[in-house]
Amino acid sequence: MAAEGELTSNEYIQHHLQNMVFGKLPASYERADGQVLQESAWTLAHSPQEAKDMGFWSVNVDTLGWSIFLGCLFCFVFHRVAKRVSEGAPSGFANFVEMMVEVVDKNVSDIFHGKSNVIAPLALTIFVWVILMNIMDIVPVDWLPILAQTLSGDPHLYFKVVPTTDPNITFGLSIGVFVLIIFYSIKMKGIGGFIGELTLHPFNSKNIFVQILFIPFNFILEGISLIAKPVSLALRLFGNLYAAELIFLLIAMLGYYQFPFHFVWAVFHILVIPLQAFVFMMLTIVYLSMAHDTH
């Protein structure tokens, strides 16, 4: 990166792990460069402390930008292939796309026992989108940040390019799945059935008074189990990709000696990229299948 020679190893890693944050700083705020704001202003953070002080309503511009771009890329490519598909045997990239669709469709058919026109497209979207976001980890860690610094003229610009190393993205995906779990649970079982699922299991009794005593314990156990689903989805994906990115940064600090190590770790990481996307997709299908169970 442009300012790499001026940074210590710790500063180099921290710089690469910091997002490009856009948010509002209050009036009289002293910025990292010593400038004091005369009035409140929306601006890019110049330090991790500024990003923290911007609070909840700040936006990680790089994460949001890359995730939207990759999502649009997925929609464009798959729509283009779908328009050109013919009744004959597909070839080239169309064959690869059809193979991915068949893999997802087969897993949905095997695991999901309800009836829904949403689950298969949702699973395919999650699978491909997460793969695309994960695969950004293969790009050498300095290439795109240096390009962003050069184009912006700011040698200290923060620019993360792997959306899944940002918990905002992984939790955004998992919370979206969580909302669907709640929606389908209520739709299939009704409000009473959903509440009963949270309060009458796993401990049950034919004696109504004993059952009433069990309700608080059941609610705590089932509530924790329900909340654990989006948390585990988000943290599993974030933790694996964040650790992989950190290893790439440590390798990059070797200078010219990094290339053989980078190649070896990248080859290994190619196995992790689709695996994490597949796990996220499969758990999504399983959770939504459980939400559709009415027994």
Among 197, 182, 282, 269, which Cα is nearest to 232's?
A: 282
Crossing angle of helices 258-292 and 167-199, in 10° steps, is 30
Known catalytic residue at 232: yes
Catalytic residue (choose from 116, 168, 236, 289):
236
**Residue 92, CA distances (Å) to 34, 96, 97, 119 in order:** 56, 7, 9, 27
Q: Are 233 and 254 a contacting pair, CB within 8 Å?
A: no
The alpha helices in the chain, defined as continuous H runs, are 9-17, 48-53, 61-84, 93-111, 119-135, 143-152, 167-199, 208-252, 258-292
Alpha-carbon span 162 to 122, nearest angstrom: 22
Known catalytic residue at 168: no
Q: Are 132 and 117 a contacting pair, CB within 8 Å?
A: no
Known catalytic residue at 236: yes
Sign of the alpha-carbon torsion through 219, 225, 230, 235: positive
Catalytic residue (choose from 60, 107, 218, 240):
240
Where are the strands (E) in the chain, listed by range? 21-25, 41-44, 59-60
Enzyme catalytic residues: 232, 236, 240
